[in-house]
Structures are given as C-alpha cells and as structure tokens.
Amino acid sequence: MVRIAHVTDCYLPRTGGIETQVRALARHQAASGHEVSIITATPGVKRSGTEIVDGLAVTRITAKIPGDLPIHPRTRHHVAAALQENPVDVVHVHVGVISPFAWGAIRAAYQLKIPTVVTVHGIWGPLASPGYRLSELIAKWATWGITISAVSQVAAKTIERAVPTLGEVLVLPNGIDVQDWQLPVRQHDSSTLNLVTVMRLAPRKRTLPLLKIVKAAQERAGITMRIHLRLVGDGPERSRAESFVHQHGLKNLVSFTGRLDHAGIREIFAMSDVYVQPSVKESFGIAALEARAAGLPVIARSQTGTTQFIRDHQEGLLAQTDSGMASAIASLAADRALLAQLGEYNRSTAPEQSWPMVLARVDEAYARARHLD
C-alpha cells in the first residue's frame, strides 16, 4: 500500500479533461488498495477545507480570486501544511501549460523531501517553453529527485526538447475502462458515412476548421455519398459553429447534440462509422481512445498525442493537414473495404491504454521517484 496525494489546480466539480482523468486514476488506485487523497485549488461544497468525494479525501486550498481562478498566494505554505497533517509516500502533481497552484505544490513537496512525480497533461507551445526552462533552472530539478512524465510520446519529446537537462521524460498515458466502450457490430446505411467527434467547442479544439474539413470532404466524395457529422459537446464556439453551418448550407451535413453523458456518447458511437479529431494541440485525446475502443476508425492529425494509440492504416488514418483529413474522410466514404478493415481491427484488438496497464506504469514512476529520493 502506497500513500498518494494527487495535486491538481482543477478538480471536481469541474469536469474538464485533467479533472476527469485524475479522478479516474485516484479511484482506480484506491480500489487497488492504495491510500489516495486529492489536494486542489478548486472550491467545492465547502470552499476550503477537506471533504469526502468518491470516498476520497479532497483538501481544497482556495482564495477569493475573481472568476474563481485556481490560484492561491500562499500555495506552498498551505500545501506543506496539508502534507504534514496527512503524510504521504509520494506526491503526484498534474499540470497543464499554466498551473501556478501545482508548481507551488512541487516546491512544498521538495521542502518536505517527499518523492514527487509530475505529469504534464498538455503539449507545450513556444510561449510555455521558456517559462518551464526557467523553472528548471531555478528549481534545480536535477537535484530535487522529481520524476517528470507526460501523457504521450509526442508530449514527452516536446518537453525533452524544451528542457534538455531533464533527460528522459516518462510516458504515463491516460486510461479508460475498455469494456465500458466496447460495442456490438451494427449495420449502417452504406450510402452515408457517419462521422462523430466529442469535444469542447472552443478555438483550441478547432471546431470551425472541422466544419470546413467536413464540407471539403463532402465535395470530394461527390453526390453519390453523403457525409454526416454528429458533433457532441458544448462550449463558447457553439453559436459561431451553428452560424457557420447555416451560412454555408451544411444543415444536412452537421448535427449538434450538445453535451452527453457516457450512455449518450455510447449510443452516438453505435450510430457512427468514423471518429474525427481535428485538434493539433492534443496531448492525448481521451475521447478518440474511447471511440477506438468502441471499434471506430479514427481520423486525426499526425502531429498530436493521439498517435500514441492511432497508427496510420492500422487503427485509423493520420493526416498532416486539414486538407489531408478531408481526403481521408472522402477515402473511407469511397472505400468501404478499408473502413471495414480498420473497424474490425479496432473491435478485435483492445487498446493498450486500459487501467491495468496505466496503473502499472504509474506504480513504476512512483518507485522511480522514491528511489531517486
């Protein structure tokens, strides 16, 4: 049994990608017999203090900041106090590109000489790299015994290039319950290629470029094959996306479902032929992995962390450009044999990123951090 404290700027009741993945990891670790707790800057039922969520102790260290931003002016002090009150064997810190609370927690863990694993849930852009390089120099990570990891090989290589002195960056992928997404084979109308994507409708996820991709794919497929996209999710770009669909006469090509729960997404997957992911800054792509587990071929950009589990012409098709994505969609609309081949492979071969594998990788990272310490 290992005593683990997960630190994350954002946590429940927020339900973004990092929050959802940290929650799932913590719950699976607890089910495996570990003693697991959460430290976060996100307010809950109690604005500050400790409460029980999912059977786990969640300590909320918050300050009255406009917009309820997950920032605290005395992060290191309060996190150190929490770790002293409830000692742990390892601290697992989860960060995005900008995570001030998490970085303060790293300093607190070092101050208390607690072995620490940091997982980067994002791909560093050109603006982030100098800041992280400076952090590496100031913090002297090489002498701190901190184990650095990322959720995909693409993300890990980005960090290694930005901070060469770190050496190897481990890969700790996100995980899913594969059996929860597996679906029986359904026969679909061969005159329509049904696409699906699940994402937050925001600029970073490239909602509008996806609509342009679908429009181009339909033009390339011709009038004998209909292409239809179901866009699952909500967000600040929804109104712009709906306006784009109206202005360009795409009502027959695109449907907006809004946010759906697990059961609703499964049902949409069962109605679909292909999953599409247009983002170029995807460090992993958990929804794409869920679709792949459901048996859907995935079309994605080749520069992303989705390549951790999608190989070209194996689990799906990879494209270097948006034009390439449109061509990939059109090719699957025309080549039903290839579509069937990709789908059969995904249904018959479970992805590696299941929770048993992920938990084993995380355990290895903890052992490495404790050894380095």
Q: DSSP labels for 136-188? A: HHHHTHHHHTEEEEESSHHHHHHHHHH-GGG---EE----B-GGGT-------
Average pLDDT over residues 106-134: 78
pTM: 0.90
Q: pLDDT for 261-289, tens place per residue?
A: 999 999 999 999 999 999 998 999 999 99
The fold adopted by the segment(s) 3-175+354-372 is: Rossmann fold (3.40.50)
Q: pLDDT for 306-360, tens place per residue?
A: 999 999 999 999 999 999 999 999 999 999 999 999 999 999 999 999 999 999 9
Instruction: Give the orientation angle of helix 322-334 with respect to helix 336-348, to 10 degrees.
Output: 100
pLDDT at residue number 132: 56
pLDDT at residue number 138: 36
Token pair listed for 268: 């949409």
C-alpha distances in Å from residue 196, one per residue of 41, 140, 175, 254: 34, 45, 21, 10
pLDDT at residue number 137: 39
3-state helix, strand, coil in the chain (%, to 5): 45, 20, 35
- Cβ–Cβ under 8 Å, residues 7 and 117: no
The answer to which of 24-33, 151-160, 250-259 has the lowest mean pLDDT is 151-160
pLDDT at residue number 135: 47
Whole-number average pLDDT of the chain: 91
> Residue 78: pLDDT above 50?
yes
pLDDT at residue number 353: 96
> Residue 110: pLDDT above 60?
yes
> Residue 200: pLDDT above 80?
yes
> Residue 188: pLDDT above 90?
no
pLDDT at residue number 41: 94
> Residue 130: pLDDT above 70?
no
**Distance separating alpha carbons of residues 43 and 64, to the nearest angstrom:** 10
Q: Taking the alpha carbons of 237, 281, 11, 22 in that order, is the dihedral positive or negative?
A: positive
> Where does 178-348 sit in CATH, by number?
3.40.50.2000
Q: Name the residue with higher pLDDT: 139 or 170.
A: 170
Phi/psi at 204 (nearest 5 deg)? -60, -30
At residue 123 the predicted structure's pLDDT band, cuts being 50, 70 and 90, is confident
At residue 68 the predicted structure's pLDDT band, cuts being 50, 70 and 90, is low
Q: Do domains 3-175+354-372 and 178-348 have the same CATH topology?
A: yes
**In the chain, where the domains are located:** 3-175+354-372, 178-348
pLDDT at residue number 223: 84
Amino acid at 134: L
